[in-house]
Amino acid sequence: MQGKIIVVTGASGALGKVVVTTALAKGAKVAGIDHAATTIKPTTERIEFGGVDLTDATEAKKAIDAAASHFGKLDALVNIAGGFAFETIAEGDPKTWQRMYALNVLTALNASRSAIPHLTNSAAGRIVNVGAMGALQAGAGMGAYATSKAGVHRLTEALAAEWKGKITVNAVLPSTIDTAANRASMPKADFAKWVRPEELAEVILFLASDAASAVTGALLPVNGRV
């Protein structure tokens, strides 16, 4: 990743933070974008854009253009911003379906559309999305979330086909990530089986690297030991 310029969305979240620190440790320069406010001061290696709503196309473009302008170019976009909801169809709110679509599909769509004009100037343009194993077959309570992540899978395939030979576009499909939030909501689970954020970051950054030049349109399960 030495010298690569990477934009990471959802950079303040559980997975996003680990992807940012792992990419920096591998010699990349990183722009993080998130809803959450940031106190991190810009350096030549890192800049954070807080308070950005990526469901808004104008806000997404402003942040991504500012990232490209800070570093002079972009090589990779890692779309991590997203959200989760668990509710049955009978007892849930139909608005949850719109919210999941906005958080998971529109954020990745807006960031990708904004990044593509910059990524086409890179010798190795990359987009890596985060889908979900849980979107391959929806269980009870997973309808809205799984539908939205299935949308991320289809977005990945369509972008890969449209930019073949210019930008690779792939998605990782985690099962349950070992985060503090998941430990709190599933205290009796065997955490050792879950995929650690550090393990997932390695797969994401492989897909963002020169080494993954021949992989595009892939939906790669990263299911830890489940």
The binding site for ligand NAP (CB under 6 A) comprises: 10, 12-16, 34-36, 52-55, 80-84, 103, 107, 130, 132, 174, 176-177, 179, 182
Nearer to ligand NAP, 1 or 52 (CB): 52
Q: Are 4 and 29 contacting, i.e. CB atoms less than 8 angstroms apart? A: yes
Nearer to ligand NAP, 76 or 81 (CB): 81
Residue of 36, 27, 37, 31 whose CA lies nearest to 1: 27
Nearest distance from C-beta of residue 203 to ligand NAP, angstroms:
12
Q: Where are the beta strands (DSSP E) in 62-186?
A: 76-79, 125-130, 167-174
Nearer to ligand NAP, 10 or 151 (CB): 10
Residue for token pair 């722009």:
31
Nearest distance from C-beta of residue 214 to ligand NAP, angstroms:
25
How far apart are alpha carbons 117 and 68 in whole angstroms?
10
Nearest distance from C-beta of residue 85 to ligand NAP, angstroms:
10
Nearest distance from C-beta of residue 164 to ligand NAP, angstroms:
25
Nearer to ligand NAP, 81 or 169 (CB): 81
Nearest distance from C-beta of residue 3 to ligand NAP, angstroms:
26
Residue 16 tokens, joined: 């996003």
Nearer to ligand NAP, 82 or 143 (CB): 82
Q: Among all residues, whose Cβ is closest to ligand NAP?
A: 13
The alpha helices in 120-186, defined as continuous H runs, are: 143-162, 180-185
Q: Are 129 and 171 contacting, i.e. CB atoms less than 8 angstroms apart? A: yes
What's the full length of the chain, in residues?
226
